C-alpha cells in the first residue's frame, strides 16, 4: 500500500510521465494494518474507523486526487482535521457545477465507504477502473511502454558543473 497519494507526492519526469515520490507511509501488507497515517483530506474512512485497512485505501485516495485535480480542491475540507474526518465518515462529496459526468461516475465508484462496492476492490480489481468509460481512450500497453505523447513535457535545463559537483559530493556522503 502506498497510503499517501496526493498532488505533493507526484512529480513530472523529464519525459513527461508521472512518478510517485515519498514512500514514507508505504507498507507491504498481506491482510490488514491498523496504523493511522496519511494526509487528513485524503484519509480513507476505514483508516479513521480503525477497523483495519489494506489496499483499498489507495483507491479511495485516487478518487480524492481525481476530484481535487478536476475541482481545484478536495471534497472534504475544513480548518480542523477532526471536522474533515467527520465529513469523510458522514457526508458524500458535493460536485461543483460543470464537473465532468464521466469523471464524476468514476470518482463516485472510488469514494465508496462500503469496501464491497469500491472500484479497485471488486472481483475485477483494477480492471474496473481501467475499463471505466472515463479512460476509454487510454491505450494501456502504449502508456506503460511510454510511447504515448505526454500532455506536458517540462523544459529541463542541463545541470551545471557546480550543481553536478554538489550532487556527487552529497551522494558520496550518503
Which residue numbers are catalytic? 4
Calpha distance 156→115 (Å, rounded): 42
Query: Residue 9: which of 134, 81, 19, 74 has the closest Cα?
Result: 19
Contact yes or no for 64/11 (Cβ under 8 A): no
Query: Residue 135: which of 113, 115, 119, 153 has the closest Cα?
Result: 119
- For residue 38, give the C-alpha cell: 496519511
Query: Residue 65: which of 45, 34, 41, 101 has the closest Cα?
Result: 41
Q: Show contacts of 120-127: CB within 8 Å, 24+ apart.
A: 120/55, 120/56, 120/58, 120/59, 120/62, 121/55, 121/56, 121/59
Calpha distance 27→55 (Å, rounded): 10
Amino acid at each position: 500500500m502506498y497510503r499517501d497519494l496526493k498532488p505533493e507526492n507526484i512529480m513530472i519526469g523529464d519525459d513527461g510521465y508521472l512518478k510517485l515520490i515519498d514512500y514514507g507511509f508505504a507498507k507491504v501488507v498481506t491482510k490488514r494494518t491498523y496504523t493511522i497515517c496519511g494526509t487528513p483530506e485524503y484519509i480513507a474512512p476505514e483508516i479513521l474507523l480503525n477497523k483495519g485497512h489494506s489496499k483499498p485505501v489507495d483507491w479511495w485516495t485516487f478518487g480524492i486526487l481525481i476530484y481535487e485535480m478536476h475541482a481545484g480542491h478536495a471534497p472534504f475540507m475544513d480548518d480542523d482535521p477532526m471536522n474533515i474526518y467527520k465529513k469523510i465518515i458522514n457526508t458524500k462529496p458535493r460536485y461543483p457545477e460543470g464537473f465532468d459526468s464521466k469523471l464524476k461516475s468514476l470518482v463516485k465508484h472510488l469514494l465508496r465507504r462500503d469496501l464491497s462496492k469500491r472500484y479497485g476492490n471488486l472481483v475485477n480489481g483494477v480492471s474496473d477502473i481501467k475499463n471505466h468509460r472515463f479512460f476509454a481512450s487510454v491505450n494501456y500497453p502504449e502508456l506503460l511502454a511510454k510511447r504515448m505523447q505526454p500532455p506536458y513535457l517540462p523544459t529541463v535545463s542541463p545541470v551545471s558543473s557546480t550543481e553536478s559537483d554538489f550532487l556527487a559530493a552529497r551522494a558520496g556522503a550518503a
